[in-house]
Amino acid sequence: VINAMFNALSGMVSSAQKLQNSANNLVSLGRDKVTVIDNPGLGSDLNSTKASKKVDISKEIVHQVTAQAEFKANAKVILTADETIGTILNIKS
pLDDT for residue 59: 95
Distance between terminal CA atoms of the chain? Answer: 18
Q: Give residue 45's pLDDT band: very low, low, confident or very high (50, 70, 90).
A: low
Q: Express as a percent the part of the chain with pLDDT over 70.
A: 74
pLDDT for residue 40: 61
Better-predicted residue by pLDDT, 92 or 19: 19
| Half-sphere exposure in the Cβ direction for 53 (13 Å, CA) | 14
pLDDT for residue 11: 96
Domains of the chain, residue spans: 2-92
Q: What is the DSSP string of 13-63?
A: HHHHHHHHHHHHHHHHTTPEEEEEEEETTTEEEEEEEE------HHHHHHH
pTM over 0.85: no
